Amino acid sequence: MNHDGLRFGNLDYMQIAWSEVTPGEVHASWSGHLTACGESVIKAKPVYDSRVRDITCAECGATAVFDLGTAREKAKAITEKYEATGSLSRADAVSLRETALQTIAPQAFKARRAGDSWNAISSNYLMSTGAATETDGTSILVGRVGLAVIEGLEVSEYQGGY
C-alpha cells in the first residue's frame, strides 16, 4: 500500500492499469510499471483516459482516493500515548497502525463506492472488530486506532466521483 505522499493528490498523473496476476481487476498506477498495490503492469491506459471510477482493486482505489499519510498521522497520535507510557513498543505501534490502515482503507473504498456513510463505516468497523462491545484494554486500543484511521480517511477523501 502507498507509503509516500506522491500519489494522492496527483490524480492528474494516475493511469488505469492491468496486471497478469489479477486478470479482470483494474488497478491504478503512477509509474506505468507497478500498480499501487505492488503488482507488475502489463498494460496501462494513457493518463488522459484514466478515471478513478474505473478502478476495481480496493487497495489501489484506497491509494487513489485517500491520503493515507493523513490516516497514518491520526493513528500515530493515538499510539504515541501508549508508547509514552511503555504499554506499547514502537515496533508494535507501527505494526498496529499499518495493519489497521491496510485492513480499513480498502474496505472504506468499497463502502464509499457503494454509497455508505462514514458513520456506517465506523459502526461496521467497531462491530466487526468487537471494539464496540468489549471492555478490555486491547479492544479499546484497536477501536481507537481504527477510528483514527477512519477519521484520517474521511478528512482526506477525494471529492470527485468514484
129-162 pLDDT per residue, tens: 877 677 787 888 999 999 999 999 999 998 877 7
With the C-alpha atoms ordered 107, 113, 118, 121, is the resulting torsion angle positive or negative? negative
33-72 pLDDT per residue, tens: 999 999 999 999 999 999 999 999 999 999 999 999 999 9
- Please give the biggest Cα pair distance in the chain: 51
96-114 pLDDT per residue, tens: 999 999 999 999 999 999 9
Average confidence score pLDDT of the chain: 90
CA–CA distances in Å: residue 21 to residues 29, 33, 39, 93: 15, 13, 7, 32
